[in-house]
């Protein structure tokens, strides 16, 4: 992981530590747990990240 990545906390952060952070890293969108930044990071392609955000904003189940 890039040690110089600039991480951004979710604007939906509840202030109770249950948040995620995202960073743009080498052509990917990385997502990590803000309260334990040493855990593994999820990495999405830009297209995959957009699809994830669309699906997360929709309350219907999705099929591949």
Q: What is the pLDDT of residue 40?
A: 92
On whether the CB atoms of residues 4 and 16 are closer than 8 A, the answer is no
pLDDT number for residue 29: 95
Quote the pTM value. Answer: 0.74
Residue 63 belongs to a domain: no
Assigned token pair, 11? 């604007």
Q: ∠15-16-18 over CA atoms, to 5°?
A: 100
38 belongs to a structural domain: yes
* Region 10-38 average pLDDT: 84
The whole domain housing 49 covers 8-56
Helix (H) or strand (E) holding 31: strand 28-33
- Is the model more confident about 61 or about 4? 4
**Cβ(33)–Cβ(39) under 8 Å?**
yes
Q: Is residue 25 part of a domain?
A: yes
What is the CB-side half-sphere exposure of residue 6 using CA atoms within 13 A?
0
User: Has residue 23 been placed in a domain?
Assistant: yes
* Domains in the chain, number: 1
In the predicted model, is pLDDT for residue 26 greater than 90?
Answer: no
């Amino acid at each position: 992981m890039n040690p110089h990545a600039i991480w951004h906390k979710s604007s939906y952060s509840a202030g109770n530590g249950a948040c995620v952070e995202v960073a743009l890293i080498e052509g990917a969108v990385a997502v990590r747990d803000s309260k334990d930044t040493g855990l593994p990071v999820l990495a999405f392609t830009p297209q995959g990240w957009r699809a994830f955000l669309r699906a997360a904003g929709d309350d219907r189940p999705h099929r591949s």
